[in-house]
Structure 1
């Protein structure tokens, strides 16, 4: 179990680099799009489409990273009223519900990706499956990180981790 957590933390490190790189590429594409549209007055249509798909992948991959460190947006009403003894139980219940949701999302996302294989993107003419593949990949990555969070021995430091960037 401890080996799985270490493997997931190593994968998360690589995904963090990938998401950072994609964010830089996204910023460059947006600046290029604005410059060509409003300064040169000859817009590049492919930059907008590629930026949209990069944003989708950044969100889905980043969600897995956020799930590992309990940094998702949450309604913490129950968290505030539950005593310290039951906070860890509540956290595990939330993680299990999230795991079931990610499993279902991964299944139906893969099915949806399969359905759109024959469709192409408007400008780049790539298969829409590349865009839709972010759903099953990202939800499976979130599921793997939920399992790592459930197996992690230091799962009781969620108070300190909330809102903290690593």
Structure 2
């Protein structure tokens, strides 16, 4: 008998960058909360949570951007493109796609170069700033993979929220519920 449940592996693969970004944001929130608690409640501020939060927020931002690319939620200025005839529009869309990919390759390459030659230590943490700069090539690779999935394979993503229960269209207040029962 075939399993009719949710294909969790596909959901995780399709949303890996967003799941990881969410985890990183939660850890960022916990680090900031720890910093605030240590400073306010114990008058002993810690030096590392703020730096950790900067690194995690940077990585969460680039991973979230890949998720936005996948969902077509980035701003697209296409008013002139919509006026073009269909064959011209197709050519312009390909030019735009190739341009974006070329920019991502340059960003990834330059980010990699910067990360490889950086030896500056993030003072309160036992890591170098190369981990921050490495977000650029990681973003480029992830974005290129998602763009190629959409362009060449017409890939349909299974978004996490499609498995959540739908919220009610109308929420009744206590007064409205009592009026309906009367």
Taking structure 1 as the reference length, the TM-score comes to 0.75
List alignment gaps of at least 5 residues for structure 2: 1-8, 163-182
Superposed CA offset, 1:71-90 (max 9, x none):
11333433554466765554
Tell me which residue corresponds to 1:3. none
Counterpart residue number, 1:103: 105
Please identify the structure whose Cα radius of gyration is greater: 2
1:40: Cα distance to partner? 2.8
Structure ranking higher on relative contact order (CA contacts 8 Å, 6+ apart): 1
Q: Distance between the aligned counterparts of 2:92 and 2:68, measured in 1?
A: 18
Structure 1 pair 154–127 and aligned structure 2 pair: CA distance change class (3 A): closer
Equivalent pairs counted in the alignment come to 150
3-state SS of the aligned residue for 1:100? helix
Mark the CA change 1:77 to 1:9 in structure 2 (over 3 Å): closer, same or farther: farther
Which consecutive residues of structure 1, in runs of 5 or more, have no partner in the other structure? 1-6, 156-164
TM-superposed CA distance for 1:96, in Å, is 1.9
Report the Cα distance in structure 2 between the residues aligned to 1:83 and 1:52, rounded to whole angstroms: 46
Q: Which residue of 2 is the match for residue 122 of structure 1? A: 123
Relative to structure 1, the CA distance from residue 12 to residue 57 in structure 2 (aligned partners, 3 Å threshold; closer, same or farther) is: farther
User: Structure 1's 8 and 66: CA in aligned 2 closer, same or farther, altered over 3 A?
Assistant: farther
